[in-house]
Structure 1
Amino acid sequence: MNAALFPDLVVNGEHVPHAMVAAETQNQTAPEGKPGIAWRKAANAVAIRILLLQEARSRAIAVDQQEVGPGRFETEEEALIRGLLEQAILASPPDDADVRAEWAKDPSRFRTPPLWEVSHILCACDPRDEEARDKALVRAKTILSAALDDPKSFAWLATKESDCGSKGAGGALGQLGPNDTVPEFEAELRQLAEGQISPEPVLTRHGYHILRMDAVAPGQILPFEAVRDKIAEAMEKAAWARQSRQFVSDLVAASEIEGADFKMV
C-alpha cells in the first residue's frame, strides 16, 4: 500500500507515523481492491488508541502490567488503556428486578443443552480431493434417494453402504449433544425434525453424510435461579460496553483529529 496516497493522521497535534496505520490495516476488513477503506478503518482504530493513551497520561494513570497468559504480559500501552477504562467506566451490577425482567422477556432462551439421537450413512472421502469428493457425492445422492423413497430401509442401507463403523448398528450413533460432532454435522442436526432424513448429503472433513434424526430432546427451560448469575454477568458486560463506547465518543468529540473519518462507521 502506498502510504503517500493517504492523509497524515494527527491526533490533538500528535503526528502518527504512517507505518503505525499501515500495520493496523492487516486487522481491518475491506472489499477486494479497495485498500482505502481498510486504511480509513485502521486510521480510526489507531486514532482511538492514541486518544486513550493521551487521556491516560493526562490523568497520570499508573498501573502494573498484568500477566495475560503463561509468561505473556500486557504492553505498557495496553496496561495504560486498561487502567484508564477501569477508572472511567463504572458499570454497576444490575439489580435483581432488572435481571428477572430480562429473563422474563423470553425464558425459553435459557435451556439445558439439547440431545439428539441420530443415525447416519457415511460416504467417506477427502474433501480436498475434488475427484474423490465428486464420486462420493454421486454415491451419497443415490443412497439418499433410496432412503427417501423407503425411509424404513435406512438401517439396511447403512449396514450395506456406510463407510462408518456404526454400520454394524444400522448407522446408529446414539445420543449426541452440542460440540459432540464436527460443526457442519451439528448444524444439520439443529435443522432436522424427529424422524426426518437430511434432504441433501452433508459434507464434513470425513466425507458426505446422510442423516436421520431418530429422536430429539430440545432441553428444558431453566428456572430463573439457575441462570440469574449468568444473565447478570451478561447485562453488566453489555452496560460496560455501552459506557466505554460513549466514553470514546466523548473523547473524539472533544478532540482535534485529522486523517480519520468517524462518520464511516
Structure 2
Amino acid sequence: MNKMKLALVATGAAVLLSNAALAQNIAVVNGKPVPQARVDALVSQVAKQAQPGQPPMTPEQKAELQKQARDQVVLREIFTQEAQRRGLQKSPDYLQQLELSRQGLLIRALFQDEEAKRKINDTDLKAEYDRLRAQADAKEYRARHILVETEDAAKKLIAQLKAGAKFEELAKKNSKDTGSAENGGDLDWAAPTNYVPAFSAAMVKLQKGQLTDEPVKTENGWHVIRLDDVRETQFPPYEDVKPQLEQRLKQVRSAEFVEDLKKKAKTDYKFSTEQH
C-alpha cells in the first residue's frame, strides 16, 4: 500500500514538473520546445537600443513588443530547423560566420566588463571638465568672410568695401562659402583654433570692425575677412555637458584599454599607425 502511495506521489510530482517546464515555453515546433527565455532576451535587446531620453513604453506598447518578439522567436526556430534539415550548419561559410559572431559577442562582453570595472564618477568628470576648460582658447571671435577663387577677385572686393559697399551684400553675391554667404558671411562665435592657421593669424590681428587690407590665402581660396566682435570664451556650465564628458571619458578609456591589450599581447604582427 505504501509503495502504491509513493508511486502516485512520484507520478504527481512528474506531472507538476512537466507542467512547469511547459509554462516556461511559448511553443513547440516539430517536437522541439521554444523557451520564453528567448523572448525575454530579444525584448531586452530591443530595450537596450532605446535612445537616451526616449520616454518609457506604455503597457500597450510593451504587450505589442512581447507579441512581436514571440512571433519572431517562433519563426526563427522554424527557419533554424529547416536550415539544419538541409545540413547548412556544416557549410564553411556558416562556420566562418559563426566564429565571427562568437568573437563579436565575446569582445562586446569584454568591453562591457572593463567599463563596469572602471566606473566613471563625478570626480573623474569634474577633472576632465577642468582639463578641457584650461585648454580652451581665452577668447572667441565673431568674424565675417568672403571666399573667392582668385587674389584679384578678393582685391576688387576689398576696394568696393573701402568705397562703402556693404560686406553682407557682397558676401551673399560673391562668396564660395555658401553656408556663411546666406548670412552675409557671418561665421558666428568661434575660437581661433577652429580655423586654419593662415585665417586665424589674420583674424586675431584685426580690431573690431576692421577689414583685412590684403586677401588671405588658404587651401580653400582667397578670403576677405572682417572682425565684428571679440569676447571671453563662453565655456558651458559643468552640469550642461556632463553627458558628453562621460561619453568622451568612456571613449578615452576604451582606447587606452585597447592599447594596453595590444602592448601585452605576444605577437609578431605589426599594427599600422592608423589602427587603434
Fold match, TM over 0.5?
A: no
- Which is greater in Rg? 2
Q: Comparing both chains, which one has the higher relative contact order based on Cα–Cα distances under 8 Å and sequence gaps of 6 or more?
A: 1
Q: TM-score, normalised by structure 2?
A: 0.42
Greater helix fraction, Structure 1 or Structure 2: 2
Q: TM-score, normalised by structure 1?
A: 0.43
